[in-house]
A and B are shown apart, each in its own frame.
Chain A
Amino acid sequence: MLTRRLIPCLDVRDGQVVKGVRFRDHKVMGGIVDLALRYRDAGADELVFYDITASPEGRRVDRAWVERVARVIDIPFCVAGGIRSVDDAREVLHAGADKVSVNSPALERPALVGELAEAFGVQCVVVGVDSLRDADGEWRVRQYTGDPDKTRALRRRTLDWVAEAQRLGAGEIVLNCMGTDGVRAGYDIEQLAAVRAICSVPLVASGGAGTPAHFAEVFAQADVDAALAASVFHSGAIAIPDLKRSLREAGIAVRP
């Protein structure tokens, strides 16, 4: 049986892992390779490295760290942030990343998703979606969320964008529910379930994890394939072996 995945997300700036997702005042947490190995040893099923150096400024970054991670890590990992072209993606994939995740650049130019799928196969192409419920009750997509000053609300409905991204060749969707992000009060089950209903590729929940029960809920109620979290893992509030034990007790299949 296909197991549900637990994915720690590490923010990378200038070659180091930093804390303070999407806020200023980043604090260095440690070396990328050390933290990647620590999560690997703890039983993480996959890692996402979100390169926050480049995206809002639109500049390319030094990706030497991707190769360093690929050398030591024997679980899959995805690189997000600053990938705007097939060439950018090739550099990251050839350095050893298993997948690339695109967000704002795909909104600027949706054809990018198809170009990546054509060049590398859909299994390499993750589309990240930042979504927030508007006053009229609709979930809509946000762009440039890496920098609060540049974040834009789009007219594009989240459900429409998820459907379009799949048509274009997304092999996986990461839905970051901004309304629950950072609050640690649980994933946005309602929104994730609505997206799940129209999503036939793997769906990753992001935003809101605070307790082991939140993970069990999002798997059982929104039927997502994976759950991503940052702060609860980084702070040590939730240890992955304990989390897997409690998920197993709740009847959720996880990798031993």
Chain B
Amino acid sequence: MATAPDVVLIDAGGTNIGSVRYALERLGVDAAMSDDPARIRAASHVILPGVGAAAPGMARLRASGLDAVIRDLTQPVLGVCLGMQLLFEHSEEGDTPCLGVVRGQVRHFPRAGGLRVPHMGWNALVAERDDPLLYGLESTDAHAYFVHSYAAPLGPDTLARSDHGMAFSAVVRRGNFCGMQFHPERSAAVGARLLGNFLALDPAA
């Protein structure tokens, strides 16, 4: 990238925001944290981290008017974990209407069949489509660290999948809106690569 990205992290109340900021630090990027719409709009890249439940997460964004701000952003936006789930149309968790910038619905993992939930640990990423967000991972046996009980089935915006009782979207992208269901900030070299790929996306594209 020509100039250093100006990254803003939206504080949606998740406990992983510090970890995401440190991961960016390790990539040489000093990210700002903000809930100020003007500051968010001015960023080259916006990240919505998030750990917790969908309903309070969306409620917090709506209360501050950030839901509309995020929907209208044109620069690259990355939702991480719950932050990715909020990009979809709807989450079964708390029957929550979400931002709707990525197509699909978020559901609970199957409750039958002895499936262990939360889905917690390192699972394989399998590319479904070519995309700059996945650069460097095509030929590798890439694993990422997941911790979640809800997931989006494969859909038109799925870039990479993972499997746990069902195939689900691990990486999604629709236009400037990107999502990672796992924690890139805790996914060792694979996570650093994916975060770097996101930061390399052109803000004006």
Task: Compute how far the CA of A98 lies from the CA of B15 in the bound complex, rounded to whole angstroms.
Answer: 8
Which residues 138-187 in B have Cβ within 8 Å of A in the complex? 141, 143, 145, 147-149, 163-164, 183, 185-187
In the complex, chain B residues whose CB is within 8 Å of the CB of A2:
119, 121-123, 164
Say which size band chain B's interface belongs to: 35 or more
Q: Name the one of B51, B114, B191 contacting A120, with C-beta atoms under 8 angstroms.
A: B51
**Closest chain A residue, CB of each to CB of B142:** A256
State whether the Cβ of B66 lies closer than 8 Å to any Cβ in chain A: no
In the complex, chain B residues whose CB is within 8 Å of the CB of A74:
23, 26, 185-189, 191-192
Is there contact, CB below 8 Å, between B120 and A70? no
Is there contact, CB below 8 Å, between B22 and A200? no
State whether the Cβ of A83 lies closer than 8 Å to any Cβ in chain B: no
State whether the Cβ of B203 lies closer than 8 Å to any Cβ in chain A: no
**Closest chain A residue, CB of each to CB of B122:** A255
Which residues 72-128 in A have Cβ within 8 Å of B in the complex? 72, 74-76, 90, 93-96, 98, 120-124
Task: Compute how far the CA of A76 lies from the CA of B19 in the bound complex, rounded to whole angstroms.
Answer: 10
State whether the Cβ of A3 lies closer than 8 Å to any Cβ in chain B: yes
In the complex, chain A residues whose CB is within 8 Å of the CB of B110:
none
**Closest chain A residue, CB of each to CB of B184:** A74
Which residues 1-59 in A have Cβ within 8 Å of B in the complex? 1-5, 40, 45
In the complex, chain A residues whose CB is within 8 Å of the CB of B145:
75-76
Task: Compute how far the CA of A172 lies from the CA of B116 in the bound complex, rounded to whole angstroms.
Answer: 10
Is there contact, CB below 8 Å, between A95 and B18? yes
State whether the Cβ of A171 lies closer than 8 Å to any Cβ in chain B: yes
Task: Compute how far the CA of A76 lies from the CA of B188 in the bound complex, rounded to whole angstroms.
Answer: 9
State whether the Cβ of A175 lies closer than 8 Å to any Cβ in chain B: no
State whether the Cβ of B117 lies closer than 8 Å to any Cβ in chain A: yes
State whether the Cβ of B52 lies closer than 8 Å to any Cβ in chain A: yes
Q: Name the one of A96, A120, A171 contacting B120, with C-beta atoms under 8 angstroms.
A: A171
State whether the Cβ of A225 lies closer than 8 Å to any Cβ in chain B: yes
Q: By DSSP majority rule, is chain B's interface helix, strand, loop, or mixed?
A: mixed
**Closest chain A residue, CB of each to CB of B26:** A74
Nearest-Cβ distance from residue A94 to partner chain B, whole angstroms: 6
Q: Name the one of A5, A70, A122, A225 contacting B22, with C-beta atoms under 8 angstroms.
A: A70
Say which size band chain A's interface belongs to: 20 to 34
Task: Compute how far the CA of A203 lies from the CA of B118 in the bound complex, rounded to whole angstroms.
Answer: 11
In the complex, chain A residues whose CB is within 8 Å of the CB of B95:
none
Task: Compute how far the CA of A205 lies from the CA of B168 in the bound complex, rounded to whole angstroms.
Answer: 28
Encoded as 1 (CB less than 8 Å from any A CB) or 0, chain B from 116 to 139 comes to: 111111111000000000000000
In the complex, chain A residues whose CB is within 8 Å of the CB of B23:
74
In the complex, chain B residues whose CB is within 8 Å of the CB of A3:
121-124, 143
In the complex, chain B residues whose CB is within 8 Å of the CB of A121:
51-53
**Closest chain B residue, CB of each to CB of A126:** B120
Is there contact, CB below 8 Å, between B120 and A225? yes
In the complex, chain B residues whose CB is within 8 Å of the CB of A225:
116, 120-121
In the complex, chain B residues whose CB is within 8 Å of the CB of A4:
121
Is there contact, CB below 8 Å, between B18 and A123? no
Nearest-Cβ distance from residue A119 to partner chain B, whole angstroms: 9
Nearest-Cβ distance from residue B134 to partner chain A, whole angstroms: 17
Contact flag A45-B121 (CB < 8 Å), given A123-B51, A256-B141: yes
Is there contact, CB below 8 Å, between B18 and A96? yes
Q: Name the one of B51, B53, B121, B186 contacting A202, with C-beta atoms under 8 angstroms.
A: B121
Is there contact, CB below 8 Å, between A71 and B116? no
Nearest-Cβ distance from residue A232 to partner chain B, whole angstroms: 21
State whether the Cβ of A201 lies closer than 8 Å to any Cβ in chain B: yes
Interface residues of A (CB under 8 A from B): 1-5, 40, 45, 67, 70-72, 74-76, 90, 93-96, 98, 120-124, 171-172, 200-202, 225-226, 255-256
Interface residues of B (CB under 8 A from A): 15-16, 18-19, 22-23, 25-26, 51-53, 114, 116-124, 141, 143, 145, 147-149, 163-164, 183, 185-189, 191-192
Q: Which 6 A-B pairs have the closest CB atoms?
A: A93-B15, A255-B122, A123-B147, A76-B186, A71-B22, A255-B143
Q: Name 13 A/B residue pairs within 8 A (Cβ), A-sorted.
A: A74-B23, A75-B186, A98-B147, A120-B52, A123-B120, A123-B149, A171-B147, A172-B120, A201-B117, A202-B116, A202-B118, A225-B116, A256-B143
